[in-house]
Amino acid sequence: MELINNQYLIQNIPVQKIAQSYGTPLYIYNSDKIVNQYHRLCNAFAPLNIEVKYACKALTNISILKLLHQQGAGIDAVSIQELKLALHAGVPPEKILFTPNCVDFEEVQQAISLGVHINIDSISILEQFGQKYGSKVPCCIRINPHILAGGNANISTGHIDSKFGISILQMRHMLRLIESLQIKVIGIHVHTGSDILDLEAFLRGAEVVFEVAEHFKQLEFLDFGSGFKVSYRQGDIATDVEALGKRFVPIFQDFCKRYGRQLALWFEPGKFLVSEAGYLLVQGNVVKTTPATVFVGVNSGMNHLLRPMLYDAHHEIFNLSNPSGTKRIYNIVGYICETDTLGADRQLADVREGHILCIKNAGAYGFSMTSNYNSRLRPAEVLVHEGKAHLIRKREQFEDLLRHQVEFEF
């Protein structure tokens, strides 16, 4: 989003005009940013044979899935429903990796019947898989390397207390099962979680993958997950994927020489691709002054953007309606009957009731974590693509709250 002549634009379209056309609250996504992030990642690891599997839990709108598939991306799905959404969007099964966690084996079987790649992250599922399929269906193994990627354990998945992956300490048990049940392993996967704060954590995880890979002779790819950090506030440190690529490419090439075959390199970015492309527009309903605080109450809340409450996540907020006004300190709060603070002690250009505020970095884990709490309706979604705004999800109506309820007659 650019500020030109005192108005904010996305692909030369005034954002205020989009808000007027579709109302608020409203999610807006910039396709140019998504496409640029995808190619930036691919270019950073050239000339390796790289496969990007978009972690669609970040944002599952089928138009976003289609956009990324059009660019060449595959999909990383964590539920059978995400998998089916990807297929519905036209992504071929061979471009989809199914990485569930704590699911019933029946869901794994359903995914296998749909022809996608299977990623196994527990000894229990691995044993059931081997007994059922043996060497007939190839699979990938997800390893937990016991490496904390970032400073927030809520979004790190590779530490010792994580529920994700087969512990590196269970290596011998895993290998015995694979040998006994003749399981064909074609991929090794590691994902240390979101917010890689430095390159060393990623490279340590890579060494674990290389050590594990030495035990398998039929590998086709190594999957290093993602965890590439984006900037959420001014001065934030983001993962320098270009610098990481320069260091990692020769290391990966050296391993492939030792292994005796050139393997594909897979990544599963979610936030990296879509976070900075998304914005949540909300309207100021009330400006409320108390003895301690000036609140701006908006027509949205934790039901539309849960991350501030769930993770204490920071999202920059600015006044779309008054870009050049005098800066004042506000607490931006929602209309939910909870303490749903979207931003505390924020400097915003002078806010009046009816002004439109913009919440940045709302593309990842924004709409995908929405709810109907307080019986509030989910917002609409708009994709700005090739200089035009396109509605890609309608705003919910009251009838949607009743759609699946069965009314009991007393």
Cis amide leading into 47 (omega within 30):
yes
Residue 357: partners with Cβ closer than 8 Å, 6 or more residues away: 281, 282, 283, 284, 296, 298, 317, 318, 319, 320, 321, 332, 348, 351
Q: 377, 354 in Cβ contact below 8 A?
A: no
Amino acid, single-letter form, for residue 299: N
Residue with tokens 């595959």: 74
Q: 359, 282 in Cβ contact below 8 A?
A: yes
Q: 356, 322 in Cβ contact below 8 A?
A: no
Residue 374: partners with Cβ closer than 8 Å, 6 or more residues away: 303, 335, 336, 337
Considering the candidates 42, 56, 102, 337, report the single residue annotated as catalytic.
337
Strand partners, 329: 347
Q: What token pair was written down for 138?
A: 């190839």
- In this structure, the strands spanning 2-4 and 117-120 are unpaired
Sign of CA dihedral 79, 81, 82, 87: positive
| Active site (annotated) includes residue 337 | yes
Q: 143, 158 in Cβ contact below 8 A?
A: no
Q: 22, 4 in Cβ contact below 8 A?
A: no
Tell me if residue 328 falls in helix, strand or coil.
strand
Pairwise CA distance, residues 223 & 286, whole Å: 48
- In this structure, the strands spanning 221-223 and 327-333 are unpaired
In this structure, the dihedral spanned by the alpha carbons of residues 123, 124, 127 and 129, taken in order and rounded to 10 degrees, is -110
Nearest alpha carbon to residue 121 among 111, 129, 113? 129
The H or E element that residue 204 is part of is: helix 199-213
Q: 366, 64 in Cβ contact below 8 A?
A: no
Pairwise CA distance, residues 287 & 281, whole Å: 17
Among all residues, which ones are annotated catalytic? 337
